Amino acid sequence: MTTTTSKATAALPRGEELLHDPLLNKGTAFTPAERRALGLSGLLPPHVHRLDEQVARVMDNYRNKQTDLERYIHLVSLQDRNETLFYRVVVDHIEEMMPIIYTPTVGQACQQWGHLFRRPRGLYVSWEDRGNVESLLRNWPHADVRVIVVTDGERILGLGDQGVGGMGIPVGKLSLYTACAGIDPAHTLPVMLDVGTENEGYLRDPLYMGLRQKRIRGAPYDAFVAEFIEAAARIFPEAIIQFEDFGNQNAFRLLEQWRERVCTFNDDIQGTAAVALAGIYSALRLTGKKLREQRILFLGAGEAGIGIGDLIVSAMMDEGATCEEARQQCFFVDSHGLVSKSRTGLAEHKLRFAHDVPPATDFHAALEAIRPTAIVGVSTVPRSFDQRVIEAMSRWNERPIVFALSNPTSKSECTAEDAYRWSEGRAIYASGSPFPPCQLNGKTFVPGQGNNSYIFPGVGLGVVACRARLVTDRMFAAAARTLASLVLPSDLEMGRIYPSLTRIREVSAHIGTAVAEVAYKDGLARAPRPADLAAAVRNTMWDPVYRTYA
Ligand code: NAI
């Protein structure tokens, strides 16, 4: 299928220049008429291939690669040549490709960024550019930016400070906005704010590509981030700005500082919260219990953990609990033990969950003291949900809820197989990075992946479609409810508490509609309300198909 471009042929670049524009290039799919009209005759081999034939060629090469990192490089190089073909390949093979263009493989790519580098993608804004950030943003070649993902590289997945190599994450996340929710790639902008790195290995590496200095902190850092956000909001007033993989000493503060002023959210805090809450809603369909009856113990009290805790509290309040009652159902263990009233020097974001409980210095002790119905791992401590933990959970609960969300796979608190084996198949399990299906006593379990890609692309789609002014927690709560409602009985039957990723564009369209609905209800939408909101949201979705130029 092709659609005709609105861009007049005369306005298109021609010849070699057109072949090097990834948003317009069709490679061997340029028709004879286009080749004649656009100065391409002779610059391509004579046979004209259809898009599906090009996909077959890419997949042939892709499957011949030996490692996931080689597959990543293959795909990113394709993206740099021909974005339509790249997205066609990704959309048609989303389950296979998601772990390559995102966690876990993207983590390896970030770690080797300076060594793998081929072509730049996105905007690198460095501390050296302070005072001049607006002019950098004006260098971006596309005027109509609708989604910006920005990182400073300090907390990349569970891998810590990756400095400028963190750029892999905004690039990957924006690919998912397009693949999962049909955001036009010409409307996306990945940004790396390079303020230095604490990673000594990179500072010593001659191929490292960022500033060779320790991180800028405190007021100068905040001023630099503010310069970027204010300039971005001025130049791209329609854009949603997603904070991504900032260290938690900055993430909470920046979110609070900006969320009421510009259209922004933090995916590690709010997106994660929504995907985890959706997982809990689905799990409750299996246990037959109410959210308010859950006692949830988190391992890790950072962005992900506190974000999930806050959203669960507001969801419990929707069920009639008071804020205090709801908070009393959520407990956190951090690197110093159970978060409690008796602890001193607790970070601001943990204080609301510091309860009057006896001290417990490790997770096992806290587990015995709390006896939770659900445990959520967001600690980056691999194997911390060991056999003792899962067996204890299975003694207290008919269907223990076990979410091991740390990324990448090497950081997971427990594998799917261990959770099912140690609980004799009773655990309701989800992970952050994907695990393959596993067999136990003749039954196949398909573990769910609490993948933020179920949420943020749909939220972005909804915000873009109605031109919302702000992104609110009510939008994330609606996204969580919508996601859970799309889980089929057949998914639950095999243990999967999220829909199949093959349905992701349908899922995003539903979430986009629910989010836009909230924006209209709350007076946050700038676009007039269409008669059929669901159809309008779907119509904004970009499809990876070739446009006809001549
Ligand atoms: P963060 O750095 O904000 O928080 C990490 C928390 O873990 C801190 O509270 C820290 O005290 C705690 N921690 C570290 N070592 C510990 C130990 N030995 N015992 C107990 N607690 C310990 O990081 P953030 O953003 O909360 O992410 C944590 C993990 O969750 C990462 O691996 C990240 O990739 C993953 N994550 C997963 C998502 C998903 O599955 N959808 C989404 C977002 C994050």
Structural domains in the chain, sorted by start: 6-99 (1.20.1370.30), 119-262 (3.40.50.10380), 267-545 (3.40.50.720)
Supply the residue whose CA is at minimum distance from atom 4 of ligand 1.
302
550: pLDDT confidence band, cut at 50, 70 and 90?
confident
Tokens of 208: 């490292």
Q: Please give the Cα distance from 283 to 40 (Å, whole number).
A: 56
Q: How far apart are CA 494 and CA 54, in angstroms?
A: 35
Residue 42: closest CA among 11, 16, 81: 16
Cβ count within 10 A of residue 531: 6
- 62, 72, 173, 208: which one is catalytic? 173
Distance CA 216, CA 127 (A): 8
One-letter amino acid for residue 321 of the chain: A
Cα(435) to ligand 1 centroid in Å equals 19
Residues with CB under 6 A from ligand 1: 155, 157-158, 248, 268, 272, 275, 299-305, 333-335, 378-381, 405-407, 411, 432, 450-452
**Residue 337: is its pLDDT beyond 90?**
yes
CA atoms of 332 and 353, how far apart (whole Å): 7
Q: Which atom of ligand 1 is nearest to the CA of 451?
A: 41
Residue nearest to atom 35 of ligand 1 (CA): 406
Label residue 8 by pLDDT band (50, 70, 90).
Answer: low
Cα–Cα dist 441/14, whole Å = 62
What spacing in Å lies between the alpha carbon of 519 and ligand 1's midpoint? 31
**Can you give the pLDDT at residue 9?**
65
Q: Which atom of ligand 1 is nearest to the CA of 380?
A: 32
Please state the three-class secondary structure of 372-419 as a single string.
Answer: CCEEEECCCCCCCCCHHHHHHHHHHCCCCEEEECCCCHHHCCCCHHHH
Closest by CA position to 408, among listed 63, 160, 87, 57 = 160
Tokens of 152: 């400073």
- Rounded mean pLDDT, 77-93: 98
Contacts 24+ apart (CB under 8 A), 247-255: 247/152, 247/154, 247/155, 247/161, 248/155, 248/302, 248/303, 248/347, 248/349, 249/347, 250/152, 250/154, 250/221, 250/225, 251/155, 251/303, 252/303, 252/306, 252/348, 252/349, 253/222, 254/222, 254/225
Annotation says 173 is catalytic: yes
What pLDDT does residue 359 have? 92
Convert the pLDDT of each residue in 196-210 to its tens digit.
999 999 999 999 999
CA–centroid distance, residue 249 to ligand 1 (Å): 13
Radius of gyration over alpha carbons of the chain, in Å? 24
Q: What does pTM read for this prediction?
A: 0.94
Report the C-alpha gap between 4 and 376 in whole angstroms: 49
CA dihedral defined by 370, 376, 377, 379, rounded to 10 degrees?
-70
List pLDDT tens digits, range 286-319.
999 999 999 999 999 999 999 999 999 999 998 8
In this predicted structure, what is the pLDDT of residue 11?
A: 84
| C-alpha 457 to ligand 1 mean position (Å) | 22
Instruction: Label residue 225 left, alpha or beta by phi (over 0 means left) and psi (-120 to 50 means alpha).
Output: alpha
Q: How far is the CA of 85 from the centre of ligand 1 (A)?
A: 35
Q: Report the alpha-carbon distance of residue 379 to residue 158 in Å, rounded.
A: 8
Task: For ligand 1, atom 36, name the residue with the nearest CA.
Answer: 406
229 pLDDT tier (thresholds 50, 70, 90): very high
β-pairing verdict for 296-299 and 443-445: unpaired
**pLDDT tens column, 462-501:** 999 999 999 999 999 999 999 999 999 999 999 999 999 9
- Reported as a single tens digit per residue, the pLDDT across 339-369 is 999 999 999 999 999 999 999 999 999 999 9
* pLDDT given at position 2: 44
Looking from the CA of residue 379, the nearest atom of ligand 1 is: 7
Is 6's pLDDT higher than 80? no
Q: What integer is the mean pLDDT of 86-100?
A: 97
Q: How far is the CA of 304 from the centre of ligand 1 (A)?
A: 6
281 part of the active site: no
pLDDT at 32: 97
- CA-proximal residue: ligand 1, atom 23 (nearest): 302
**Average pLDDT of the chain?**
96
Number of the ligand 1 atom closest to the C-alpha atom of 431: 40
pLDDT value for 4? 47
The alpha carbon of 334 and the centre of ligand 1 are apart by a number of angstroms equal to 9
Protein residue with least CA distance to atom 28, ligand 1? 378
pLDDT at site 453? 97
* Confidence band of 10 (pLDDT split at 50, 70, 90): low
Judge whether residue 383 has pLDDT over 60: yes
CA–centroid distance, residue 492 to ligand 1 (Å)? 27
Mean pLDDT on 130-142: 97
Query: What digits encode the pLDDT tens for the residues 143-187?
Result: 999 999 999 999 999 999 999 999 999 999 999 999 999 999 999
Q: What is the number of the ligand 1 atom nearest to the C-alpha of 271? A: 42
What is the 406 CA–ligand 1 centroid distance (Å)? Answer: 6
Closest atom, ligand 1, to C-alpha of 449: 40
Nearest CA to ligand 1 atom 42: 272
Measured distance CA(177)–CA(183) in Å, rounded: 6
Helix (H) or strand (E) holding 368: helix 363-370
Asked if pLDDT for residue 5 goes beyond 70, the answer is no
Share of residues in the chain with pLDDT > 70 (%) = 98
Q: Which of 102, 177, 221, 420 is catalytic?
A: 102
DSSP symbol at 438: E
Cβ count near 21 (within 10 Å): 15
Pocket-testing residue among 298, 407, 449, ligand 1, by greatest number of atoms within 8 A of Cβ: 407
Out of 405, 409, 435, 456, mutate this one to test ligand 1's pocket (max ligand atoms within 8 Å of CB): namely: 405
Task: Give yes or no for a contact between 217 and 240, defined as CB atoms under 8 angstroms apart.
Answer: no
